[in-house]
Amino acid sequence: MNIAATPLTASREDHPGLDTQRWLARFSAEFSVKQRGTRLGKTEHFGPLRVQRPFFPEGPECLHFYLLHPPGGLVGGDQLSIDLVLRDGAHVLMTTPSAGKIYNNISGIPQGQHVSLTIDDGTILEYLPQENIVFDGADGQLITTIDISGDGLFLGWEITCLGRFESEQFFERGQLMQSLMLRRDGRPLFSDRLQFSASSPLQESRVGFNNYHVFGTFLINRNVMSDTNELGEKIIAWQEGINSRYQQLTVAVTQKPDAFIARILGNKAEQVRNCFEHLWQQLRTDVVGREACAPRIWRT
């Protein structure tokens, strides 16, 4: 079912300071395996969220899925809700064609994105969006919840930019609330929550961002560093390679029970994303059972 895009106008009585329209957008989709492989099933949407037609560069078993937000960013009061459900052995690689943007907020109403990912037993989701840029003056919320059942597999990342470092437009006003939760059968495997004000000393603190402006987290709900020596060696080689090649990046890896975490601090989103892409390419054959096949939209 598709519902035509319609801007939902915020009430001036409810928010007297609001002098413009705001977008409330939602997209939900279900994926399952049919006779011809993984297929996009029931979808619902309203507001400016769209999906390009599915792509199958690896054959019918793995569906590549591009989620589009044509306005390109969120102003005060805008809220995006994304709900993806994988069933019946589906394998989906999801990405976005461009960075998400959370703009300067003049409305006094927070803007945000809420992502809910449901991964049933025997399904695989590779969640590889491009970065979110939090502009100076934003009041942003970025919430991602991943719920896995049984032997479902999640492999993915999130990258966040505080301001635009290369343009010398720093995040000096505003705030960000960011939450990343990974659960299996209702039991938390990883939970990360950031409540951050631009004026916080966390930006400069060595136990915080240490004057870096881009941070990223890469997650796999597997014990990959102890499964085989080869996998662990690949991860260590990846980390050492970054440390020797990019002096301006800080990298850390952690293996928790049932969750592998890699984190990067840097100042250039492209560098952080390229490092995560390289890690994904290194691990995909062993973890997913397929050689890396990068979405073609990354190179356009």
DSSP string computed for 232-255: HHHHHHHHHHHHHH-TT-EEEEEE
Mean pLDDT across the stretch 128-145? 97
Looking at residues 156-163, what average pLDDT do you find? 97
SS3 of 157, please? Answer: strand
Token code pair at residue 203 = 């930006």
Give 47's DSSP letter. Answer: S
Distance (Å, rounded) from C-alpha 68 to C-alpha 129? 11
Q: Is residue 262 part of a domain?
A: yes
- Is the confidence at residue 70, as pLDDT, over 50? yes
Q: How far apart are CA 145 and CA 174, in angstroms?
A: 24
Q: At 10, is the pLDDT very low, low, confident or very high (cuts 50, 70, 90)?
A: very low
Residue 12 has pLDDT above 90, yes or no: no
Asked if 46 and 3 count as a contact pair (C-beta separation under 8 A), the reply is: yes
Query: Within a domain: residue 23?
Result: no
Query: pTM for this one?
Result: 0.91
Res 275 pLDDT > 70: yes
Q: Which residue has the higher pLDDT, 164 or 243?
A: 164
- 111 neighbors 105 (Cβ within 8 angstroms): yes
CB 269 within 8 A of CB 214: yes
Check residue 5 and give its pLDDT.
33
Angle at CA 185, nearest 5°, toward 182 and 188? 35
**Confidence category of residue 225, pLDDT binned at 50, 70, 90:** confident
What is the structure's pLDDT at 14?
39
Q: Identify the burial level of 23 via C-beta atoms within 10 angstroms of its C-beta, where 0-12 means exposed, 13-18 middle and 19 or more buried.
A: buried
How many domains would you assign to the chain? 1
Average pLDDT over residues 86-95: 97
User: How large a percentage of the chain has pLDDT more than 70?
Assistant: 92
Average pLDDT, the chain: 90
Give the domain extent around 214. 33-299
In a domain, 278, yes or no: yes
pLDDT in the model for residue 166: 86
For 209, list phi and psi in degrees, rounded to 5. Answer: -90, -10
Task: Report residue 68 CA to chain centroid gap.
Answer: 13
Cβ atoms of residues 144 and 181 within 8 Å:
yes
273 compared with 35, residue with greater pLDDT: 273
The most confident of the ranges 45-54, 239-248, 281-290 is: 281-290
b vs e for 85-124, b when ≥16 Cβ sit within 10 Å of the residue's Cβ? bbbbbbbbbbbbeebbbbbebebebbbbbbbebbbbebbb
- Pull the structure tokens for residue 259: 């969750």
pLDDT of residue 228: 65
Query: Does a structural domain hold residue 161?
Result: yes
Residue 240 lies in a domain: yes
Rounded to whole angstroms, how far apart are CA atoms 221 and 193? 18
Q: What is the DSSP letter of 297?
A: G
275 within some domain: yes
Q: What average pLDDT does range 271-278 have in this prediction?
A: 96
Residue 14 placed within a domain: no
pLDDT on residue 71: 79
Q: Of 10-14, 30-34, 71-75, 198-202, which gets the smallest average pLDDT?
A: 10-14
Mean pLDDT value of segment 231-259:
91
Q: CB-hemisphere CA count at 13 Å for 290?
A: 16
- Is pLDDT at 1 greater than 70 in this prediction? no
Mean pLDDT computed over 122-128: 98
Model pLDDT, residue 227:
59
Structure token pair of residue 49:
């969220």
> Is residue 265 in some structural domain?
yes
Pair type for strands 100-102 and 132-134:
parallel
